[in-house]
Structure 1
Amino acid sequence: MKNFMVDQNLKELTEHRTLVIPIACYETTINQNINGYIPLHWHDEIQFVLIVKGEAIFQINEEKIVVQEGEGLFINSGCLHTAKEKNHLDCVYICLNVSPHFILSQELYTTYVNPYIHATNLPYLHLDTKGLWAKNILDAIRKINQLILQKSPYYEIDITVQLTLIWQNLIINGFQLEYELTEMVKSKRMKQMLNWIHLHYAEKIMLNDIARAGQLSRSECCRYFKRILKKTPLNYVMDYRIQKSLVLLQQPDSNVTDVAYRVGFNSTSYFIDKFRKSMNMTPLAYKKYKNG
């Protein structure tokens, strides 16, 4: 997985399926992504991560966590998350995405899956090697990855067995699940504001526009971005425009001025200045570097 695609709503566009089952399992090298990191996104699928090399810093909603080699993460359905490698160690991880409805049979889904994917106090779980339950989950992720690579007879059935084990080990902890309406509203408003930016990034954007998209005041809007993304709304817009310019600059027939205007800058020199600060090189140098 290199070119990580998300839609305007930040929802990941990768179809998480392996043949007939709604599951995807693949190895990702973080710095090989077009941005050099895994950009902010979310998906309906639940995600399990196992670091096989190096270490990574994940952000899930508002929290950051360092995950080391041999450790992993459970990331819940619908949670905004991003990943960067730590200490330039060429971090590689196995990523297992599963449709919640495929975890257990429909008869068991209502009791044992639905309450967990809607809980507001369970955005993620750190899977370290200290607890037996976490070790069992990490082993099952490895097995599922091997099963998909080997494709031995009836391997899809073997995968469902491993998924059942994963979920049993996850819920065996007896978490006290919480459902805070304010948290649900916050998540929805944040996604609405990000969605609006991703639809309109090529246009002139004012703080008022972003706040209106989330049905918030300007100051509340700034608080949301500072708390969740650790930056101002307009800085996020700037970073997103630079991110979108990377794809355009890799097109052989593109030029820097055209790209600048296409991603919402009204001055080429301003674009070059901001690009250099973000990427430590000029847009033209980046274009030459990527196009050989």
Structure 2
Amino acid sequence: MQMKNFMIDESLKELTKHHTVVMPIACYKTTINQNIHGYIPLHWHDEIQFVLIVKGEAIFQVNEDWIVVREGDGLFINSGCLHMAHEKDRSGCVYICLNLSPYFVLSQELYPTYVKPYIQATNLPYLYIDANEIWGKNILDAILEIYQCIEQKSQYYEIDISIRLPFIWKNLIDNGFKLEFVQTEIVKSQRMKQMLSWIQQHYTEKIMLEDIARAGQLSRSECCRYFKRFLKCTPLNYVIDYRIQKSLYLLQQDDSNITEVAYQVGFNSTSYFINKFRDSMNMTPLAYKKNKMAQLRLN
């Protein structure tokens, strides 16, 4: 099994290029547990995203909400929203992911009226797509058809895809969803991204709670409330978890050393790193390294 590294930049923006040769769109299958982290880490992107679960179940976090998505159902994730995904109950979850630029959904003339308000709404970070609803089944069927178009690349497949995108969008918005635009919610999202971005840029250094709070222009107590609301953990526990996740790639290198990896990702004690790694991964860093090296040799 080939492990995949999910690449994000210093602002937690995903670096994956979501486009085919000629269109600002990507549609592909993702097996959650094949990621190097064992899950899809927290990130965001400008593209809107549609997900169709084809096997198992997944738990998605979008901003501060956690959503279980059943096999056969799907999820819409709006542009710019922080999100991550875990498989549920070791179900071997596989999903089709459709990412596309909001500007490609409809024509330039229709975008301001029928797309932009939905992208900017503060009460639409995500929408559960239920296959038992007619509009939901329409969307999910179209996602599968787009995936098949890209896989098969039949004649005029780009046209077939471009026909289905407005169909998907019409079914999404044709439910009388009342849009809201709350400036405070926009500010909260921006501040959370600023703090997470700061941690990503400085995780190898000594980090204090005051540093994280300052990055979000918040008090220490308000900073803690933000992390509890969005991530259900303290800021410093998030730092520890992030350092451990960054260590996974380093531990898979042939010449890596446990002590060197610990210091590279910001721990100032090898024993503390080992203890926290064991708490998070249910094994020591050395056991993890040996296990991954064995898997790589088998492949």
Distance across 2 between alignment mates of 1:131 and 1:291: 46
What letter matches 1:241 in structure 2? Answer: R
Q: Percent identity?
A: 76
Note the 1:237-256 alignment, pairs <5 A. 237-256=239-258
Runs of 4+ aligned residues of structure 1 deviating over 4 Å after TM superposition are none
What letter matches 2:207 in structure 1? Answer: I
Instruction: Tell me if 1:182 matches 2:184.
Output: yes
Distance across 2 between alignment mates of 1:115 and 1:193: 27
Note the 1:106-125 alignment, pairs <5 A. 106-125=108-127
Note the 1:87-106 alignment, pairs <5 A. 87-106=89-108
Contact 1:26–1:94 at 8 Å: present in 2 too? yes
Equivalent of 2:201, from 196, 199, 202?
Answer: 199
Note the 1:73-222 alignment, pairs <5 A. 73-222=75-224
Distance across 1 between alignment mates of 2:19 and 2:132: 31
Distance across 2 between alignment mates of 1:171 and 1:269: 53
Aligned to 1:271: 273
Distance across 2 between alignment mates of 1:179 and 1:228: 19
What letter matches 1:187 in structure 2? Answer: S
What letter matches 2:52 in structure 1? Answer: L
Distance across 1 between alignment mates of 2:201 and 2:281: 24
Distance across 2 between alignment mates of 1:227 and 1:174: 28
Equivalent of 1:40, from 35, 39, 42?
Answer: 42
Aligned residue for 1:25, secondary structure, equals strand
Instruction: Tell me if 1:56 matches 2:73.
Output: no
Aligned to 1:25: 27
How many residue pairs get aligned? The number is: 292
Aligned residue for 2:221, secondary structure, equals helix
Distance across 1 between alignment mates of 2:253 and 2:165: 41
Aligned residue for 1:240, secondary structure, equals helix
Aligned to 2:297: none
Residue 125 of structure 1 deviates from its aligned partner by: 0.5
Distance across 2 between alignment mates of 1:130 and 1:250: 43
Residue 3 of structure 1 deviates from its aligned partner by: 1.7
Distance across 1 between alignment mates of 2:89 and 2:239: 27
Residue 175 of structure 1 deviates from its aligned partner by: 1.2
RMSD (CA atoms)? 0.8
Distance across 1 between alignment mates of 2:90 and 2:57: 9
Residue 164 of structure 1 deviates from its aligned partner by: 0.9
Aligned residue for 2:223, secondary structure, equals helix
Residue 130 of structure 1 deviates from its aligned partner by: 2.3
Aligned residue for 2:192, secondary structure, equals helix
Could you list the runs of 5+ residues in structure 1 that have no partner in the other structure? none
Residue 57 of structure 1 deviates from its aligned partner by: 0.7
Aligned residue for 2:109, secondary structure, equals helix
Aligned to 1:233: 235
Distance across 2 between alignment mates of 1:90 and 1:172: 33
1:222-254 deviation line (CA, Å, top 9, x unaligned): 000000000000000000000000011111111
Distance across 2 between alignment mates of 1:8 and 1:240: 13
Residue 174 of structure 1 deviates from its aligned partner by: 2.0
Distance across 2 between alignment mates of 1:108 and 1:248: 47
Aligned residue for 2:253, secondary structure, equals coil
What letter matches 2:281 in structure 1? Answer: M
Aligned residue for 1:106, secondary structure, equals coil
Residue 74 of structure 1 deviates from its aligned partner by: 0.4
1:147-168 deviation line (CA, Å, top 9, x unaligned): 0001011111110101110001
Distance across 2 between alignment mates of 1:105 and 1:252: 51
Distance across 2 between alignment mates of 1:179 and 1:127: 22
TM-score (structure 2 length as normaliser): 0.97
Instruction: Tell me if 1:283 matches 2:285.
Output: yes
Contact 1:6–1:41 at 8 Å: present in 2 too? yes
Residue 2 of structure 1 deviates from its aligned partner by: 2.5
Distance across 1 between alignment mates of 2:132 and 2:71: 14
Aligned to 1:2: 4
